[in-house]
A and B are shown apart, each in its own frame.
Chain A
Amino acid sequence: MTHAAATHQTSMGLDNRKMAFWAFIGSECLLFGSLISTYLVYKGRSVVGPYPHEILNIPFTSVSTFDLLMSSLMMVLALAAVQRGDMKWGKIWLFSTALLGLVFLGGQVIEFTEFVHKGLTMSTNLFGCTFFVLTGTHGAHVAIGVLWLLTLWVRALQGKLGPANAMTVEISGLYWHFVDVVWIIIFTVVYLIQ
């Protein structure tokens, strides 16, 4: 794909990739809306434990939430650096964002492992099933985001990412921030409202 094709604009004067990506994010709202609805509908209907209040670790998840919020800050700083042509800081912030994403994923692996050791699996009860599907789907989105960010970072290291490709970084940022806002809702609905 040539650069000219990549920056094609729609008849509304908007970038076609950005418009398509917002439509994709809209569809993702429906996906996560259905998963959160399913969790809420089955909330409190498990007939065997472990139950949410017995197993959820709020201090640990609060740290994960802080980590993801800070990764969003790193992402906007990366975009600002790339837009002004400061590729040194662009690379640093992009890598920092991916690193914080990896830390979040590590936390999720630790949490899931602990839950399995305490007897909560997808087939244990309704809470286990809906919890693992919802948070696992979110985790998969984070993993895709980390891969995307690392790809951009490698392209930056190769000198193939600059102010001319700022829209590419902005679109990856949209994805990353969406993953963040989904976690904001999951943290409240699943962890804090028990």
Chain B
Amino acid sequence: MTERSEGTEHKHPTVDVYLRVAAALVILTVLEVGAFYVPAFRPVLVPVLLVLSAAKFALVVMFYMHLKADNTFFTFLFGAPLLLAVGVMAALLFLFFGALTLRGAAGAG
């Protein structure tokens, strides 16, 4: 049976690529945990952790979930709700913490 008849719309990465991605994921996780324990990273810990986490997220989604090579409609089906979820998260955090900050600033003024 051909790839097409199985409904596969793309060519999957090779085992070699899968292993390289796994190595990158392990290295990024070690960096994350390392940054957590190194006091010098304390002032920039949150942005560093968010960037490393986003890199791991992107690697899994692009290579293991095949979005990099797959039909762009799948990227839309996943990306649109993901953006919505991030937007809702940002709005909620602003509503709770932004309002507190603004109230604090008004009180201080």
Contact = CB atoms under 8 A, between A and B. Distances in A.
Interface residues of B, number: 48
A14 interface: yes
B65 interface: yes
A32 B82 CA distance: 10
Give chain A's interface residue range (CB within 8 Å of chain B).
Answer: 35 or more
Interface in B50-94: 50, 52-53, 56-57, 60-61, 64-66, 71, 73-74, 77-78, 80-82, 84-86, 88-89, 92-93
Given A166-B8, A188-B53, A33 B88 contact: yes
Contacts of A164: 1, 6
Chain A contact residues, majority secondary structure: helix
Given A7-B7, A41-B92, A80-B12, A188 B65 contact: no
Contact of A29 (B15, B26, B29, B82): B82
Contacts of B9: 13-15, 18
A79 B22 CA distance: 15
Given A33-B89, A41-B96, A69-B22, A18 B29 contact: no
Interface in A135-194: 163-164, 166-167, 170, 173-174, 177-178, 180-181, 184-185, 187-189, 192-193
Contacts of A13: 9
**Residue among A41, A177, A181 with the most chain B CB within 10 A?**
A181
A134 interface: no
A181 B60 contact: yes
Chain B contact residues, majority secondary structure: helix
Interface in A39-86: 40-41, 58, 62, 65-66, 69-70, 72-73, 75-77, 79-80, 83
Contacts of B12: 79-80, 83
Interface string B12-41: 101100110110011001001100100000
A75 B15 CA distance: 11
A88 B63 CA distance: 24
Interface of B: 1, 5-9, 12, 14-15, 18-19, 21-22, 25-26, 29, 32-33, 36, 45-46, 49-50, 52-53, 56-57, 60-61, 64-66, 71, 73-74, 77-78, 80-82, 84-86, 88-89, 92-93, 96
28 contacts: A12-B71, A14-B7, A15-B7, A19-B73, A19-B77, A27-B81, A32-B85, A33-B82, A33-B84, A33-B85, A33-B86, A33-B88, A36-B89, A37-B92, A37-B93, A40-B93, A41-B93, A65-B29, A66-B26, A72-B22, A73-B21, A73-B22, A170-B8, A178-B65, A184-B53, A185-B57, A187-B53, A188-B53
